[in-house]
Amino acid sequence: MDLGQFFGRYGALLAEGTWASLEMTIISTIMAYIIGIPLGVLVVVTAKNGLRPHRAINAVVGWIINITRSIPFIVLLVFILPFTRLVVGTTLGIPGAIVPLIVAAAPFVGRMVEQSLAEVDSGLVEAAQSFGATTWQIIYKVYLRESLPSLIRGMSIVFITIFGYSAMAGTVGGGGLGDIAIRYGYQRYQYDVMIASVILCIIVVQVFQSIGDIAARAIDKRK
């Protein structure tokens, strides 16, 4: 079977799988950031030397992040099935995959954001305070603004991690490249299809890593 025949037979399947993987990953990444940014900010702001130190809030948010991150994704996926059904009404298809992906990724994003914000020079925070900035103004005009290049670099790491998780979510009903590789490669011994899906995974990861690197470099004004 030559390449023409191969793509004739499996092209549509692979294209559909790539699209399903991207859809799961992109939607989950966006949702994970919507939840994860406030988590990361909260940890930084309530830390001992933060803008508003608060031991209890800091500890609780820290625990939530750590506990969620301790559960292996494939276990989490099954563990929260009732919750997934409650939220989206199904455990199948892309909606059924996105819920566990968000639950797993949001705390991860929280930690990534925390690390980026921690890189911001405390002297800048002090300077902003000296000009009469409020806590909110410092959060988004200093912490988030000054760490933007680092946040973007973190985002490509998050994207690639969720992309990997989405392969697992796919096998329990979400579809996507991971699902194709397992179904054809593992269950039907069609190695050519498995190799093609692996190559597509590599391309997706490379593309998003490059986009992240280029974007971060373009907006970073430090030399």
Partner 1 sequence: MIEIEHLTKLYSANTGDHAALHNVSLTINDGDIFGIIGQSGAGKSTLVRCINLLEQPSSGKILIDGNDITHYKGKQLLALRESIGMIFQNFSLFQQRTVLGNVTFPLELRHENKAKREQRAKELLDVVGLAGYEQRYPSELSGGQQQRVAIARALANDPKIMLCDEATSALDTRTTVAILDLLQEINRNLGVTIVLITHSLAVAQKICNRIAVIDDGKLVEEGKTRDVFDNPKSPITRELISNDSSMAFSDNETTEEKAKFQELREEEA
Per CB under 8 A, contacts with partner 1 among 58-77 are: none
Per CB under 8 A, contacts with partner 1 among 122-161 are: 123-124, 126-134, 137, 141-142, 145-146, 148-149
- The distance of closest approach from Cβ of residue 222 to partner 1 in the complex, given in angstroms and rounded to an integer, is 5
How many binding residues for partner 1 (CB under 8 A)?
24
Whole-number Cα distances in Å, 201 to 6, 22, 105: 18, 10, 19
- The distance of closest approach from Cβ of residue 217 to partner 1 in the complex, given in angstroms and rounded to an integer, is 13
- Residue 145 CB: number of other CB atoms within 10 A? 12
Q: Does 215 sit near partner 1 (CB under 8 A)?
A: no
Helices (H), 71-176: 73-79, 81-88, 93-118, 122-130, 135-137, 144-146, 148-169
- The distance of closest approach from Cβ of residue 180 to partner 1 in the complex, given in angstroms and rounded to an integer, is 42
**Can you read off the two tokens belonging to residue 128?**
């902003």
Rounded distance, CA 165 to CA 69, Å? 13
Residues 6 or more apart in contact with residue 111 via CB below 8 angstroms? 40, 65, 69
131 vs 189 by CB, closer to partner 1? 131
Of 44-52, 66-74, 118-126, 188-196, the segment contacting partner 1 by CB under 8 A is 118-126
Sites of contact with partner 1 (CB under 8 A): 121, 123-124, 126-134, 137, 141-142, 145-146, 148-149, 219-223
